[in-house]
Amino acid sequence: MIVNLVPVTRDNWQACCALSLPAEQQDFVASNLYSIAEAQFYPTMQVRALINQSSTLVGLAVYGISPNTGQYRVARLMIDQAFQGQGYGRAAMQAILAEVAALGDVDQVWLSYREHNHAARNLYQSLGFQEQSCDPAGRIVAMYSLVAQD
């Protein structure tokens, strides 16, 4: 499974905003419209449309250097409800981690998720993210090390 990370542009932002989550996942991640708008104010954050091998839009990701902590973080990962459970979340995270590793100057990638988001927790743990703490909003904070383990 391959997911390509492409910039959100004038040509695809509305399609990105039309992606949706099932009702029970609505509180897991901010809307794509909010994510796209918010990222305009943080030049260190990248907003990427997630495109599959058939050139179909399957999700959205926001990642980069957090203006609050200075850490590299995945702020949002959203897979449209029609494409969930097909490996796109894993492929997207692998693509993000590969892109970050290629930068060469990042040792860790951080993210957070709601405790009751079991699919996210299972995905991130299976990729090697280690839970560290809870943030002030009660989300689990996890870290992925890009440094080779001996």
DSSP at 149: P
Distance separating alpha carbons of residues 84 and 66, to the nearest angstrom = 27
∠ CA 118-124-130, rounded to 5°: 110
pLDDT in tens, 110-140: 999 998 899 999 999 999 999 998 887 778 9
pLDDT in tens, 32-52: 999 999 999 999 999 999 999
pLDDT band for position 148 (cuts 50, 70, 90)? low
- Write down all domains in the chain, each with its CATH number in brackets: 4-145 (3.40.630.30)
